[in-house]
Structure 1
């Protein structure tokens, strides 16, 4: 039986765009372009490397999001993933990370898996806790924040680099892992890969397919809530120090006044 690798990816607002909140305090995704979270590209890359080393593996990418989230799946498919699963339902809008982990767990149970690969965090929420929540819901081991990951037989092994030490970790499959942006540069989709992605299967699922009630997710079912939002203050003009022989002293005084030195 081939190794079943599933990568969880997210469709996020472009960080270079003018990101704002909507009236319901959720992220306004309509006014800014979206794309595959950059940190999830590392997860896709590691999944593909493991599949290539195995010689007998299938890589599936899964996302939870609106219609446009298919763009994130197509990017992963063009990189080399074999197929995709898109969980899309209007009642998912506003779901927090706890609800998202519940949806993904049901989706994974539906598709089947041996190894689940995640990025270290999303580039919009940046919470970084979904892999742990997912492993808990699935009842499988978790190896998080890996900068190196391999699969040998029925075991996944990885290296976690910390500020003061490096850990060598391993767990029996099935398992959930997350990889950092130090795990290896993600490949660029080739023209052949982009064309092939258009023919690869994308399965669509909704909450009914997963057996999840609408009130368990969405804004109403979220365990967390945003009470208030405010726009970031506009940047003010900086202080210009004219050097007329005293520039060095003035600069030092300014830095000291701001407690930078």
Structure 2
């Protein structure tokens, strides 16, 4: 089975996103880069965090001619002191964050017998821990402003029990619980918290490392829609959930996976 011809995504325009202060983690490549591009096209003031300098600087340069060009700040999200310092810098220089997109993650494969205590800690640090502490960092500014939006990124992987991803799936399952907890705890202050759950997304990393032609065929066969999901599909959902059109959406999971129910 081969994918159907791709139709370009034309983003809806959300006037209330223009001028919003948006922070996107892991924004230098893949899904994150598409989200950066999408918010820039809405006229938002975008700051994106990453550690992949070359790709991030190239993305920043490619959007330098936009009405509101994005800004790249290098930040290792596993170093919590750096996380706190970066968010203080953003608030000091731009003002309180109005939309946080917790996108950063690393889906390295592993065998159960190879996992050490350090590997466990490192995996949860890069895939789970920073989502809470980034949310914690922006919450006071959002409360003072009377509201805000936090979008956490989960994964279809644990819903399908994919192989060689036990720690990644542990983190991604926890993010759905984290989303519900934050939505409850912050909702009284007008802060909406939701979880976006991508399916198999056609990014350069995924295609280079994990997806053989056989994998591609199996994924398409298992999806209700026989089209690959691409980063801009995820970005389109992210824009909606960040906008006022989703004003009564909180504490929920939103899938963009072409109806992938496994093999």
TM-score by length of 1: 0.36
TM-score by length of 2: 0.36
Task: Tell which structure's C-alpha radius of gyration is larger.
Answer: 1
User: Normalized per residue, which structure has more strand?
Assistant: 1
